[in-house]
Amino acid sequence: MKRLMRILDAGNVVLSGWCGITDPRYLEAIAEYDFDAIVLDMQHGFFDETTVQNAIATLVARGKAPLVRIPLARWDTAARVLDFGALAVIAPMINTAEDARSFVSATRFVPVGERSFGPRHAASLYGIDTNEYLQNFDQCSLALAMIETREAYQNLDEIIAVDGIGGVLIGPGDLSISFRQNPIPDAYGVDTIDVVKDIVARCKQAGIKTAAFSIDPKAANMLHGLGVDIISVGLDVTYIAEGVKAHFAGLDFR
Ligand code: 3PY
Ligand code: MG
């Protein structure tokens, strides 16, 4: 159950997949690969409360850490996915210390937050009782604040100083949109790459975890070079597209 934290505490990078397709067969198929974790996306992906609950169980049964991105400012969902057994909750668009405090309030038990007691299902999923959950498990419920706007960057020090924020997750697409004021994303482009480097450096100095989304292996390698702790590479549609492309490239009749 502490797989995620064990990997992080050993200083190793967590390699994560990213999935918004809710079909269990699809999730089982990508869980066959050597991901340490999979992000289940409720913001832009199709997961709802029922499908995310089933997906978390599917991943736990396969030894993959379930990380869940909740929809915007849905603190009720943040608490529920932890009750369902998520090991990390990712909150999009955390722009201020106040946003960060609301996030922490929903996801951490007292005295750090005000999470309501109800982790029976999460505990049983990991084969422990609720006492054990309370003793150990709270440390394994990472609250990852997404930093993906200019405002968030301006407020970075205050956001990461909020007690209970376990780390940040950089959303490079929205970050570029916000900085460039252009709806076409330019992830890790010239206008934001130094911002990304600075976010990683400041989080490291503050002693919190860093995570980031990457669309392809090149971007993932770049993040690894920066020392990012949790790196997601690609997402469901790119896994399908790359697989189809590889099949077509191998055909000698088309
Ligand atoms: C972004 O790049 O904005 C993200 O949210 C990654 O999914
Ligand atoms: Mg985003």
Strand extents, DSSP E, the chain: 14-19, 37-41, 65-69, 88-91, 142-147, 167-170, 209-214, 230-233
Q: Which domains, ranges and CATH numbers included, belong to the chain?
A: 3-249 (3.20.20.60)
| Residue pLDDT, tens place only, 82-134 | 999 999 999 999 999 999 999 999 999 999 999 999 999 999 998 889 998 88
* Residue 164, SS3 per DSSP: coil
Q: Which residue's alpha carbon is nearest to atom 5 within ligand 1?
A: 171
Which atom number of ligand 1 is nearest to the Cα of residue 146? 5
- Structure tokens that stand for 190 in this block: 């010239």
Task: Give pTM, 2 decimals.
Answer: 0.96
Q: How far apart are CA 23 and CA 17, in angstroms?
A: 15
Give ligand 1 pocket residues (Cβ under 6 A): 148, 171-174, 187, 213
| Residue pLDDT, tens place only, 158-203 | 999 999 999 999 999 999 999 999 999 999 999 999 999 999 999 9
Ligand nearest to the CA of 189: 1
Q: Ligand 2: distance of its center to the CA of 43 in Å? A: 9
| Residue whose C-alpha is closest to residue 38's, from 104, 128, 22, 248 | 22
